[in-house]
Amino acid sequence: MEFKQQEGVTLAEVAKAAGVGESTVSRVLRNHGSFTTKTRDRVLAAVQHLGYVPNRIAGTLASAGSRLVAFVIPSLSNIVFTDVLRGASATLEDHGYQAVFAVTDYDPEKEEALVASMLAWRPTAVMLAGYEHADGTVKMLRAAKCRVVEVLDIDGVALDLAVGFSNHAAGRESANFMLQRGYRRIGYVGHDLNRDTRASKRFASFCETLGAGGAPLADRQIHPGPSSVENGRIGLEQLLARTPDVDAVYFSNDDMALGGYFHCLSHGIMVPDDLAILGYNGLDIGRATPQRLSTLLTPRVTIGQVAAQLVVDDAPSQVIDLGFELIEGETA
């Protein structure tokens, strides 16, 4: 079993070595079409001997499907997106697809540029976060003959496939939970909303629901940076400095909420009696803190799995709502 693929062993060489035609080798390798056991063994022996690695670039060009799935995601630091990738990758690998990705940094223009360069690889599908895209992006995606999957948000009109849940409903449910628990002076601590449209949808519905419930938002503190534990800590500190009498705070997500929780821990603020905390996402860590974090669990991994399955099955256009689950922890 020698490997000499220096400048690439080709299918033709394998064919010659096995004493069969090129198409026969191709059929054997893809296990497609008919051939006898004997020829198959001869071919496989030659493949083994030469260390042949099929060239999918050539294969794709000659046939059709690239079996490449492009992920154009806002960030790799946010667990939301890596969880979707995680959910999708196993399914894709099992079906012979390859995942390609690019990071937009929450920038619609960068997204457009990246979608363009992704399309150059003629992917089977492109997966994007949410519905808000630049005009050019939409145009390209419509023109391209690949599938499009918008994940993590279903509040809008899907281009083709969409898998996620309603961020509006999430904000609403969070607000209702707070109201039911009896909190009336509710604040919000969030990260840069211009960049995260899904967080801003949640916030909008949250406020609206609070208002309708007779307890309009008491105050808000938006940190002009990405979501992080540290920013959540700082955010809560600033909010409390300005409005000390809030009795509960809704955070843009669990990272921020943990920061707030830590602030309480180190300043002797009793949770939830002095201050209640509600997060969003349902991170694992929130289940291991001294008090379990109250939060809204989102089915991120499942979203990735379902999205990948739809692509693999070449399912018809549809929107799938996977919902979410309110976790009543011990912080609110």
Q: Which residues pair with 223 in a beta bridge?
A: 191
Q: For the CB of residue 146, give the shortest distance to DNA in the complex, in Å.
A: 14
x/- string (CB under 7 A) for DNA, residues 64-93?
x-----------------------------
Pairing of strands 295-297, 325-327: antiparallel
Whether the CB-CB separation of 251 and 295 falls below 8 Å is answered with no
CB-nearer residue toward DNA: 67 or 300: 67
Kindly tell me which residue out of 245, 273, 284, 313 binds its own copies, with binding defined by CB under 8 A.
284
Our finding on whether 114 is near its own copies (CB under 8 A) is yes
Other CB atoms within 10 Å distance of the CB of residue 32: 9
Our finding on whether 145 is near DNA (CB under 7 A) is no
Residue linked to tokens 């363009």: 116
CB-nearer residue toward DNA: 95 or 184: 95
What are 76-85's contacts with CB under 8 Å, separation 24+?
76/103, 77/226, 78/226, 78/227, 79/281, 79/283, 79/300, 80/152, 80/281, 80/298, 80/300, 81/129, 83/300, 83/301, 83/304, 84/127, 84/151, 84/152, 84/300, 84/301, 84/303, 84/304, 84/307, 85/304
Q: Tell me the Cα Rg of the chain.
A: 26
Kindly tell me which residue out of 55, 94, 314, 315 binds its own copies, with binding defined by CB under 8 A.
55
Q: For the CB of residue 260, give the shortest distance to its own copies in the complex, in Å.
A: 10
Q: For the CB of residue 201, give the shortest distance to its own copies in the complex, in Å.
A: 25
* Cα atoms in the 13 Å half-sphere on the side-chain side of 242: 13
> Residues 111, 117, 121, 123: what is their CA dihedral angle, to the nearest 10 degrees?
20
Our finding on whether 61 is near its own copies (CB under 8 A) is yes
Whether the CB-CB separation of 222 and 199 falls below 8 Å is answered with no
Which residues are CB-contacts of 143 (< 8 A; sequence separation ≥ 6)?
none
Our finding on whether 45 is near its own copies (CB under 8 A) is no
Kindly tell me which residue out of 24, 89, 91, 252 binds DNA, with binding defined by CB under 7 A.
24
Our finding on whether 31 is near DNA (CB under 7 A) is no
Kindly tell me which residue out of 10, 35, 49, 119 binds its own copies, with binding defined by CB under 8 A.
119
Kindly tell me which residue out of 124, 228, 294, 298 binds its own copies, with binding defined by CB under 8 A.
228
Whether the CB-CB separation of 314 and 95 falls below 8 Å is answered with no
Residues between 168 and 187 with contacts to its own copies, criterion CB under 8 A: none
Residue 48 interacts, among DNA, its own copies, none and using kind-specific CB cut-offs from 5 to 8 Å, with none
Kindly tell me which residue out of 41, 58, 90, 321 binds DNA, with binding defined by CB under 7 A.
58
The stretch among 97-105, 207-215, 308-316, 318-326 that binds its own copies (CB under 8 A) is: 97-105
Residue ranges in contact with DNA by CB under 7 A:
7-8, 10-12, 19-24, 26-27, 29-30, 32-36, 38-39, 52, 54-55, 58-59, 61-64
